[in-house]
DNA sequence: GATGAATGAGCTTTCATTCAT
DNA sequence: CATGAATGAAAGCTCATTCAT
């Protein structure tokens, strides 16, 4: 990363149609390269070339490489927000703990099925900006808080339960659908079993269970 | 005229005390830099400088940057293998599903508590060698297969159950202890609840539940 | 994180005047350094500096150091091909063995008089690419085969005679004009005597001479 | 080529048997590497390793890499001197121009048959010291002057003839036996023809031939 | 004398970024 | 606004040479 870093403000917000198309082409090319080659293969010259745009134009719209990555991350996060918002409607409508689990799991599966390669790269390789990280975290918290409301009627300590449900479903679905170590049981079969587990948890009576030695 | 050319025999294996200390210093510095700055900040000059060693010495013992990363990954994986082997003894001795879950969860917590920053970088940023990846995958499979045996007495389809348990516990513990988004419920509280969930799952009667719409 | 990684598309072919001048400056500087300092002193930083160009520009047009050397070698070989093609016309027109010898010798002298220092370095120090080597060899064979036709009318075994003539003239002229040990007889005087020798050979009756002990 | 260059004088001349053996091992290894990998693969660490000697010991006997190369060159040149001295006896005994040519050619063939790979590397890739170059040149001049005496009885301008004979025979034999482009006529067949040519030259009447257009 | 660990100047190559046109 | 040639800091790696043991 050579030459100065005054960070003026070239980020001309695209207003005309032509600019919009250029920006879109750049973002598309950048997302494709990120998904296919990972962060290591992500370089501005390659992005510009793939977008069919000069490197100068790229810098006309993005002040630096990081800004480009941030924009892609933001767009991806926005999609996640939309999907989870949709799932929230389902969850709010759920008339049973089972339906609620199904809606949650389905929402997260949808979330991870959209461009899993890009998802993987964004979630592990790309150095996200603080604001992007905050936005992801806010989404998670929103989901947890929302679920907490829905769980209030079903369990005793809905806050912890909500976090357990969201984190568990998200983490394992991420692993099965995005990391894809392949082999062993199929993601679909595992997802089905995941739902069983989450339902069993919600249905379980309050154990006196902080004692690790307690029996099931 | 440096650079290129096949090579004749790098990686001089440390024979005497002095070299051993050098190698140790290099590995230590490399692990620290990896943990603190991530893969992006991991460069051979920085490692050598931090180890208080010349760049030439580094290349005396490691043929290239990747080999250095590999060695650190391998050492880390070896620790993981040791910890899980110890947990396996506990699991084998478990006289109930609850005890089994406790042993599994505890083993994974121990695994993730050891140098979590390095763990995070190794598991997401560092491009692991094929053999390191294979070794991690083998460890996971070993754990699943081993747990499958232990579960045979308790559940119906122990293979899927074993994978669900291992992947779930590993994924959420990784998130809580390593990713550390902070706030909300504490890792300890969540881990306790995780155990409750896993026990509930193992105790649950066989639902006729392959139908996602089925209620709990 | 430089070094390594497949590459996407170096060697931007010069499209505009500016780049053409840059490429020319690089090639010129490279040839000069090669001629003056030999392969040992030929490094990309020195070439770029001498060309008055940044190191980055050099790599904009040449994927690596070897490609730069190859280009110089190819240009030099192309000149050689042109000169020998011209000599071939003379040879074809020759109405006597003497005229033929004169044309051959003159062609080779011309060939070695063009930038003899560069010629020397290219022919002995530079590790030529396989294709460059093949091209040189093809040129030599072409010359021999062509001369074989021309000699068919004058000698008994024109194939061997042609190779002897071409290799002899080339080797000694190379030594006198390129290696330039200086002193003793002058290249010009020697070349004259060389012509005498080649003519005498072509005029010589077929000796029963496969016996090394035969007297002249 | 890093670190200083005070050039003290560590060249401890080997006196004891052990040292002699060490020096011999180093020279042998160095010559082998030079012959097999060329100057590019010739590095002091590799030489020491191949000689089964520590790098420190190598520098005990040779002040630097160049000195090592010089010693090998000198040994090789000494062999050449011996072979040509032997040939000189034959030449002095020759009772005809033909016998003389045969002795000259045979001497040069012998010279080039001894370790041709090393010969090639020494004569083209290795940057010889000025003294080594002078020694080679002296050998050539000696050969020419000696031959001049022998030719005085046979030709008109023995100086030029001697140089033509020596340079021609040396250059083409070098090409055929050392450069070995392979294919076409065999070195042996060509050598036979070479003798024919040299004899024809010596037998040729004095042409009025400084005029290139003169016929044979 | 011997050893071999250590050194670091120097070389190749990459890629984010600038700016003249 | 667009272009793309040019830049150069930075990183990977080599190998001749030194010197403490």
User: Of A25-29, C76-80, D94-98, where does mean pLDDT reach its minimum?
Assistant: D94-98
User: What share of chain B has pLDDT > 70, as a percent?
Assistant: 86
CA to C1' distance (Å), from B58 to E1: 29
Most confident by average pLDDT, C9-13, D17-21, D117-121: D117-121
pLDDT level of residue B20 (50, 70, 90 thresholds): confident
CATH number at residue D57: 1.10.10.60
In a domain, D108, yes or no: yes
In a domain, C211, yes or no: no
Nearest to A171 by CA among B172, B124, B121: B172
Cα(first)–Cα(last) distance of chain D, in Å? 56
Contact C202, D198 (CB under 8 A): no
Contact B19, B12 (CB under 8 A): yes
Query: Can you give the pLDDT at residue B211?
Result: 44
pLDDT level of residue A214 (50, 70, 90 thresholds): very low
Three-state DSSP at A155 gives coil
In a domain, B5, yes or no: no
The stretch C15-22 carries a mean pLDDT of 76
DSSP state at residue D39: G
- For chain B, the average pLDDT equals 87
Query: Can you give the pLDDT at residue B7?
Result: 40
Given CB atoms, is B3 within the 8 Å cutoff of chain D?
no
Distances in whole angstroms, Cα of residue C20 to Cα of each of C25, C26, C189? 8, 10, 43
Whole-angstrom distance, CA of residue D18 vs CA of residue C57: 55
Query: Can you give the pLDDT at residue A116?
Result: 94
Point out the domain boundary residue: C39, C65, C91: C65
Point out the domain boundary residue: D65, D98, D125: D65
DSSP state at residue B212: T
D114 and D188 together in one domain: yes
The stretch D160-170 carries a mean pLDDT of 97
A101 and A42 together in one domain: no
User: What share of chain C has pLDDT > 70, as a percent?
Assistant: 86
Query: Can you give the pLDDT at residue C128?
Result: 94
D186 and D167 together in one domain: yes
Given CB atoms, is B1 within the 8 Å cutoff of chain D?
yes
CATH number at residue D156: 1.10.357.10
Residue in chain B closest to C39 (alpha carbons) equals B1
pLDDT level of residue B216 (50, 70, 90 thresholds): very low
Nearest to C204 by CA among C170, C167, C157: C157
Strand E, CB < 7 A, residues 140-169 of C: none
C102 and C39 together in one domain: no
Number of domains in chain C: 2
Residue in chain C closest to D205 (alpha carbons) equals C200
Q: Which domain holds residue D100?
A: 72-204
D104 and D183 together in one domain: yes
Query: Can you give the pLDDT at residue C184?
Result: 86
Query: Can you give the pLDDT at residue A8?
Result: 44
Q: Say yes or no to pLDDT of C215 above 90.
A: no
A126 and A35 together in one domain: no
In a domain, C6, yes or no: no
D122 and D185 together in one domain: yes
Query: Can you give the pLDDT at residue A204?
Result: 85
Given CB atoms, is C43 within the 8 Å cutoff of chain B?
yes
Residue in chain C closest to A47 (alpha carbons) equals C8
pLDDT level of residue D207 (50, 70, 90 thresholds): low
In a domain, C210, yes or no: no
Contact C105, C198 (CB under 8 A): yes
Query: Can you give the pLDDT at residue B19?
Result: 82
The stretch A92-103 carries a mean pLDDT of 92
Query: Can you give the pLDDT at residue D39?
Result: 94
In a domain, A104, yes or no: yes
Residues 6+ apart with CB under 8 A from C61: C10, C11, C12, C14, C19, C22, C23, C26
D48 and D147 together in one domain: no
CA to C1' distance (Å), from A1 to F8: 10
pLDDT level of residue A46 (50, 70, 90 thresholds): very high
CA to C1' distance (Å), from B116 to F20: 40
pLDDT digits (tens, 9 = 90+) for A98-136: 999 999 999 999 999 989 999 999 999 999 999 999 999
User: Of A125-134, B2-11, B131-140, where does mean pLDDT reach its minimum?
Assistant: B2-11
Whole-angstrom distance, CA of residue A167 vs CA of residue A155: 17
pLDDT digits (tens, 9 = 90+) for C46-67: 999 999 999 999 999 999 999 9
C61 and C111 together in one domain: no
Residues 6+ apart with CB under 8 A from C155: C161, C202
The stretch C62-90 carries a mean pLDDT of 95
Q: Say yes or no to pLDDT of C18 above 80.
A: no
Q: Say yes or no to pLDDT of A2 above 70.
A: no
pLDDT digits (tens, 9 = 90+) for C90-123: 899 988 999 999 999 999 999 999 899 999 999 9
Whole-angstrom distance, CA of residue B90 vs CA of residue B111: 15
The stretch D111-127 carries a mean pLDDT of 94
Nearest to D193 by CA among C197, C196, C101: C197
CA to C1' distance (Å), from A73 to E17: 22
For B134, the token pair is 């294979």
For D162, the token pair is 């001697």
Q: Say yes or no to pLDDT of D148 above 50.
A: yes
Q: Say yes or no to pLDDT of B85 above 50.
A: yes
**Nearest amino-acid residue to F4, taking CA and C1':** A54
How many residue contacts between C and D have a Cβ separation below 8 Å?
147
In a domain, C48, yes or no: yes
Could you count the other beta carbons within 10 Å of the beta carbon of residue D48? 20
User: What share of chain D has pLDDT > 70, as a percent?
Assistant: 86
The stretch A146-168 carries a mean pLDDT of 94
Q: Say yes or no to pLDDT of C4 above 70.
A: no
C117 and C168 together in one domain: yes
Query: Can you give the pLDDT at residue A207?
Result: 52
pLDDT digits (tens, 9 = 90+) for B177-196: 998 766 789 999 999 999 99
Q: Which of A184, A207, A208 to mutate to test the interface with B (most CBs of B within 10 A)?
A: A184
Q: Which nucleotides of F are covered by protein (CB under 7 A)?
A: 1-20
Query: Can you give the pLDDT at residue A78?
Result: 95
- Tell me the nt nearest to D57, Cα to C1': E2
Whole-angstrom distance, CA of residue D96 vs CA of residue D203: 11
Three-state DSSP at C42 gives coil
Higher local confidence (pLDDT), B213 or B204: B204
Query: Can you give the pLDDT at residue B12?
Result: 53
Query: Can you give the pLDDT at residue D168?
Result: 97
Query: Can you give the pLDDT at residue A20?
Result: 85
> Would you say the C-beta of B43 is within 7 Å of strand E?
no
Q: Say yes or no to pLDDT of A49 above 80.
A: yes
For C23, the token pair is 């490429």
Query: Can you give the pLDDT at residue C139?
Result: 95
Strand E, CB < 7 A, residues 37-76 of C: 42-45, 55-56, 59-60, 63-66
Point out the domain boundary residue: B7, B39, B65: B65
Contact A72, A99 (CB under 8 A): no
D112 and D176 together in one domain: yes
pLDDT level of residue A213 (50, 70, 90 thresholds): very low
B148 and B50 together in one domain: no
In a domain, C9, yes or no: no
For D43, the token pair is 């590095």
């Amino acid at each position: 990363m050579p030459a100065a870093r005054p960070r003026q403000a070239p980020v001309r917000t695209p207003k005309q149609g032509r600019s919009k198309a250029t920006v879109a082409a750049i973002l598309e090319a950048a997302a494709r390269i990120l998904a296919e080659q990972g962060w290591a293969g992500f370089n501005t010259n390659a992005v510009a070339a793939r977008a069919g745009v000069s490197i100068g134009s790229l810098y006309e719209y993005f002040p630096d490489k990081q800004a480009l990555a941030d924009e892609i991350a933001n767009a991806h996060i926005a999609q996640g927000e939309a999907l989870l918002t949709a799932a929230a409607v389902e969850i709010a409508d759920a008339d049973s703990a089972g339906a609620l689990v199904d809606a949650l799991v389905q929402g997260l599966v949808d979330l991870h099925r959209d461009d899993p390669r890009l998802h993987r790269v964004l979630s592990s390789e790309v150095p996200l900006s603080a604001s992007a990280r905050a936005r992801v975290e806010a989404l998670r918290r929103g989901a947890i808080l929302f679920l907490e409301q829905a769980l209030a009627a079903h369990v005793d300590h809905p806050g912890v339960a909500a976090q357990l449900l969201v984190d568990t479903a998200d983490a394992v679905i991420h692993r099965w659908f995005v990391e894809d170590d392949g082999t062993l049981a199929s993601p679909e079969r595992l997802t089905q079993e995941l739902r069983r587990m989450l339902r069993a948890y919600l249905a379980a009576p309050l154990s006196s269970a902080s004692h690790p030695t307690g029996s099931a």
